[in-house]
A and B are shown apart, each in its own frame.
Chain A
């Protein structure tokens, strides 16, 4: 921790403009819409089962991408390692699910 670090920090402070809530409110409304589509489709019923399953999974993945990308800032620069960690985690998780299903049912 040197003076150099401190000077960097305060320089950033003067240059930076604080981001407003608009972007996050839009992400929030988008998530609400995705959730409503998912629940409404199931509540209404009568839709083709295979199509419903696919729709639900797409809605879930989109909402997770909003959370991770916007609210947890994974889409911002300097997040290469966090993306590697999370992608690795999701890869192993997906592998566990596929392996367990395969082992059990085929």
Chain B
């Protein structure tokens, strides 16, 4: 088992190192199953949000609360970070570890920027508008859905940061490549969920709030 790994690590890396071993291929396949499960998880949160979105009690409604510029900025940041993670995988396919680590680093920084915006937004609502988790059924559903997505972004940032460290420590091998590939899939999925959040929560909130 160690021979192929050692051989790959010494520079003879196959074109798609994430699919070079059965273990790597299984990791990718298994991660797709996980993402299917994640889709169900977010689906239930969206279902809860959609049923409760008009139950605003004494608090403001969606169209009074949300600010489009912040949501637009967050959307573009996350979209750009999705592209940089594509570039990271392309660098990995060229076997360029430095470029791979650099693109992953940029992805992490963009993820942090997104998170800062979200924390700023939530702080505004809570401190400025006195609009917390327990204000109304709408606010509970909103914070749970959007906050859960934010927690996914935070997890992705930590995960990819650790992988960058591992790339420098262990190099780009058929063992580390599937981990990087799977983390990029996760990052794209975060953007997929965000597309539904900015459409269903923010934009539709403005239109039919």
Contact = CB atoms under 8 A, between A and B. Distances in A.
B86 interface: yes
Contacts of A85: 32-33, 35-36
Interface stretch (B44-52, B117-125, B147-155, B158-166): B44-52
A15 B103 CA distance: 26
Contact of B1 (A1, A10, A56, A86): A1
Given A1-B21, A96-B47, A89 B37 contact: yes
B158 to A, nearest CB: 21
B4 A19 contact: no
Nearest to A93: B43
Contacts of A35: 72, 75-76, 79
Given A82-B29, A100-B51, A56 B203 contact: yes
B72 A39 contact: yes
Interface string B180-196: 00000100110110011
Chain A residues touching B, range: 35 or more
Chain B residues touching A, range: 35 or more
Given A9-B20, A86-B39, A96-B43, A60 B29 contact: no
B97 to A, nearest CB: 15
Interface string B1-19: 1011001000011111000
Interface of A is mostly: helix
Contacts of B185: 72
Given A6-B4, A72-B185, A97-B47, A53 B208 contact: yes
Contacts of A9: 14-15, 20
B1 A68 contact: no
A67 B192 contact: yes
B48 A100 contact: yes
A89 B40 contact: yes
A71 B35 contact: no
B127 interface: no
Contact of B32 (A13, A16, A81, A92): A81
A12 to B, nearest CB: 5
Interface in A74-106: 81-82, 85-86, 88-90, 92-94, 96-97, 99-101, 103-105
A20 to B, nearest CB: 8
Contacts of A49: 207-208
Q: Which 5 A-B pairs have the closest CB atoms?
A: A93-B43, A89-B39, A89-B36, A9-B14, A100-B47
Interface of A: 1, 5-6, 9-10, 12-13, 16, 18-19, 21, 24-25, 28, 31-32, 35, 38-39, 42-43, 49, 52-53, 56-57, 59-60, 63-64, 67-68, 71-72, 81-82, 85-86, 88-90, 92-94, 96-97, 99-101, 103-105
Given A35-B79, A56-B204, A89-B40, 10 more contacts: A13-B14, A25-B83, A52-B207, A60-B200, A64-B195, A67-B188, A93-B40, A96-B43, A96-B46, A97-B46
